[in-house]
Amino acid sequence: MLRAGLFFLLTVPTQALALSCTISFGVTVTHGIGRYPPGTALHGTAEFATRGSFRQEGGATAHLATGTMTLDGQITGRLWTVITTSRTQAADLIGLYAQDVEGLSFVGQDFTGPMAITLFGRRGSWPHDRPPVTQAEWDSLDLRRVFQLHAPTSPDMLGGDITGLDAACLDSARNAP
């Protein structure tokens, strides 16, 4: 009974959040493939709206989302979750994750994802369960910023460093009367 109650508490949304964001980011390729050798500068976007959240183990909160992530104007995936991790012994992080990626194939290998942006902050720099809302909050996660697109049936990936990130977000739950 105690285990069932604990499971229920861990899966209840941690706070009402109705966040919608439009993000623009730059990537400098560090792990290249095909037409994207190391040093290539790419532009990407992510648009999403959250639709519920639940706590996970290790200080993480998953925020289910609907949206898209696009890289180089032709690689696109369905953004489905935003993960926040804070108050642990490791670095704080915000991760945006897309799946069902289309638009990149190299030597017969389709890179269908996951596709991810991960922003790391120093331990204690992100004290919230929610994703960042303001540009200053996004900027606070500045320890390391990376992009990855994986090929699910091999160890191949396209990876790079995030070189800039501009976010415009609205939390309609905060702005509701």
Under DSSP, is residue 139 helix (H, G, I), strand (E, B) or coil?
A: helix
What does the angle CA 75 – CA 78 – CA 81 come to, to the nearest 5 degrees? 125
What pLDDT, in 10s, does the model give residues 94-115?
999 999 999 999 988 899 999 9
Q: How far apart are CA 149 and CA 151, in angstroms?
A: 7
Per-residue pLDDT in tens (0 to 9) along the chain, 177 residues? 434 433 433 444 444 567 899 999 999 999 999 999 999 999 999 999 998 888 777 778 889 999 999 999 999 999 999 988 876 677 788 999 999 999 999 988 899 999 999 999 988 888 888 899 999 999 999 999 999 999 988 888 999 999 999 999 998 766 544
In a domain, 176, yes or no: no
Q: How far apart are CA 141 and CA 103, in angstroms?
A: 29
First to last CA, the chain: 39
In a domain, 30, yes or no: yes
In a domain, 12, yes or no: yes
In a domain, 115, yes or no: yes
In a domain, 177, yes or no: no
Q: How many domains does the chain have?
A: 1
Structural tokens at position 120: 């790391």
Note down the domain range covering 22: 2-171
CB contact at 8 A, 138 and 110: no
